[in-house]
Amino acid sequence: MTIQRFTRALIPTVKETPAEATNASHQLLLRGGYIRQIGAGIYDFLPLGLRVLRKIENIVRTEMDRAGASEVLMPAMLPAEYFQETGRWDVYGPVLLRIKDRKGGDYHLGPTHEEIITDMVRREVKSYRQLPLNLYQIQMKFRDEPRPRGGLMRCREFVMKDAYSFDIDEAGAVKSYETMREAYRKIFTRLGLTFRIVQADSGAIGGKTSAEFQILADSGEDAIVACDNCDYAANVEAAEVAAEPAASGTAAGEIEKVHTPGKGGIVDVAAFLKADVKDFLKSLLYVTDQNELVMACLRGDHEVNEIKLANAVGAREIHLASEGDVVKATGAKVGYAGPVKFNGRIVVDPSGAAIASAITGANETDHHIKGVSFARGDYKAEVKGIRSAGAGDRCPQCDKGRFKAYKGIEGGHIFILGTHYSSKMNATYLDEKGDKKPIVMGCYGIGVSRLIASAIEQHHDKDGIRWPMPIAPYQVVVATLGNDAAMMEAGEKLARELEERGVEVLWDDRDERPGVKFKDADLIGIPLRATIGAKTLATASCELKRRDSADPKAFDLIPLAEAADRIAAEVKKAMV
């Protein structure tokens, strides 16, 4: 058994924070010698980084296998015909890394593999007797991100676990989905991460039932809300909100036009009229990808959720109307739009429809109107939830709790796809009666390489990384303070005894000052540090320090004769 010595390892730690790294995980992965960038969003994994990556992969693989899934491996370079078959060749746009072979054939690097796995199954599965089926792979994915950032957080090349379930009907698909939901819960728990399972929007992949596994971190890009009374949690893009009556306002009276010169913003108009912004009906104009103009109305203190709005009007994409479009549609400058007598499609959020006597734009520059009531029929609109949820909103599930807001990093996403792909690609089976039916599918992804960065965002301090034991590159670092024969013999002996007990050990045998060794150990984040110095060697003992200790100076003094057993027991206990 060969002990991993620091002097024979490639662990190029650096003291200075690289200028290009802005978030903690990117900084620490570079400083700790885990990764190195070779291009925008493209990274080498050095030995420490690869060890962490493989540990995450192994945990994912173990739980997927336990859940009854079978591992496959699909090509990374894919013929265009499969994405063309489902229409995604055009939908993906510039994010898809497209290439041509020497004969001029169109190919692309795989960003995801729904089409390829569907093709595999349609070739091999013919009968209901072959279902259900769950296939997964752990493989590089490629997306030409317009702004790669955050190190491993958003890359152009990344490692992903993608799984796909195949069932005879919706009930079977739901069962497969719940099996994967539980497998994911076990995976993220074993990884030592604090996470929430949240309802989510399915986005461009398709499908209707969807949940994200959000790793809680202050640096997270995703905004999520969770009830303080029940287990409801959701991405703000998908969170439902219980309707509430307006906080203020009087019963609807006669509509009255008021002069509001130069007051196009709600805050300014509210101050001018001495009114509460909650009494306003905010009206914004959007244009869909089908060039349809839509007015979105909601309470003045709320914000439009563009994903919800797009879903509400059946659009793939929407964007705010230009100033010219607003003037053309309303006859007024931006800031004075309103639903009364508006000639076009209107969608109103329930919060806006509930205002008894609203103030809104008059579709006339420098004018607003008061006393507007949806209930009375002052304007016609589709009532659909189109606003973003936020802290303090009432929970739609228990109707008692209130939302708390969190930041999260999406670590995993699960979907029920239905027949979205199988119907387009003619992936069918013969049922018991011999009738041909489309296979019902599910899709389950985990950003494996992103989890490295996510874990650091959640587990670090000013000195470096604080790895959870299950995914640390090594579980123990043995630091010998000196290089005389007796010291080196004691360090090697402890390292060997730990390895014999199944502990993963890095022996820091460098001829460096104690401070350098301690700083490097803290930086790279190994959970336990066993230190042998002149004083401890004289008493046949070692110092055991825990990287996650609240007291950075705290340590246990352990007899060397007991050290291997005690440290091994602590490692075993820390493995989730």
The SS3 call for residue 447 is coil
* Residue-level pLDDT at 207: 47
Give the whole-angstrom CA distance, residue 318 versus residue 307.
8
Cβ contact 354:348 at 8 Å: no
The SS3 call for residue 439 is coil
The Cβ-side half-sphere exposure at 169, using a 13 Å CA radius, reads 3
Number of residues assigned to the chain = 576
Residues of the chain with pLDDT under 50: 204-207, 246-249
To which H or E segment does residue 477 belong?
A: strand 476-480
Extended beta strands in 516-566, E state? 528-532, 541-546, 556-559
* Residue-level pLDDT at 545: 97
* Residue-level pLDDT at 249: 45
Per residue in 224-281, pLDDT tens?
998 999 988 888 877 888 766 544 445 667 899 999 999 888 999 999 999 999 999 9
In sequence order, what DSSP letters do the residues of 67-87 get, joined into one string?
Answer: TT-EE----SEEEHHHHHHHT
Give the whole-angstrom CA distance, residue 92 versus residue 421.
15
Domains of the chain from N-terminus onward: 45-240+405-456 (3.30.930.10), 256-383 (3.90.960.10), 474-574 (3.40.50.800)
* Residue-level pLDDT at 251: 62
Give the whole-angstrom CA distance, residue 266 versus residue 338.
12
45-53 CB contacts, 8 Å cutoff, 24+ apart: 46/10, 46/11, 46/12, 47/9, 47/10, 47/11, 47/473, 48/11, 48/473, 48/524, 49/452, 49/473, 51/473, 51/474, 52/452, 52/467, 52/471, 52/472, 52/473, 53/159, 53/448, 53/449, 53/452
* Residue-level pLDDT at 204: 45
* Residue-level pLDDT at 245: 55
What pTM was computed for the model? 0.83
